[in-house]
């Protein structure tokens, strides 16, 4: 049996969301809060740190990036984050700067 990369990513994302539900976490609320720009020196920063520490293998999805404010120009993700194809498309379309955090 051969699984494409896209199929594997979909399986991983489904499992991550199922685990969030099992832990009683609201995935949508966590995404919405984590992807809003935060004030910095009295103004909204154009940099967002995306917290994926709840996951053994961090996966950045298209859905999470769609929740970002239009003012965001840079995202910071954990080192080793896997990007879904849809997430890569949004990063390219919006010309987002991607940085990694330890």
Helix H, strand E, coil C: the string for 7-42 is HHHHHHHHHHHHHHHHCCCCHHHHHHHHCCCCEECC
**pTM of the full predicted structure?**
0.55
Q: What is the mean pLDDT of each run of 10 residues along the chain (102 residues)?
A: 79 77 62 51 62 77 86 87 91 90 64
State the Cα–Cα distance between residues 34 and 51, nearest whole angstrom. 7
| Beta strand pairing call for 97-101 and 74-78 | parallel
Residues 60, 77: contact at Cβ < 8 Å?
yes
């Amino acid at each position: 049996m051969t699984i494409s990369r896209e199929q594997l990513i979909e399986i991983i994302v489904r499992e991550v969301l199922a685990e969030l539900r099992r832990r009683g976490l609201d995935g949508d609320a966590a995404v919405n809060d984590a992807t809003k720009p935060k004030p910095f020196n009295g103004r909204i920063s154009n940099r967002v740190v995306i917290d994926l520490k709840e996951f053994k293998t961090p996966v950045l999805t298209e859905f999470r990036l769609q929740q970002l404010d239009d003012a965001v120009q840079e995202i910071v993700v954990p080192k080793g984050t896997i990007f879904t194809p849809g997430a890569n498309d949004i990063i390219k379309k919006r010309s987002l700067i991607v940085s990694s955090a330890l």
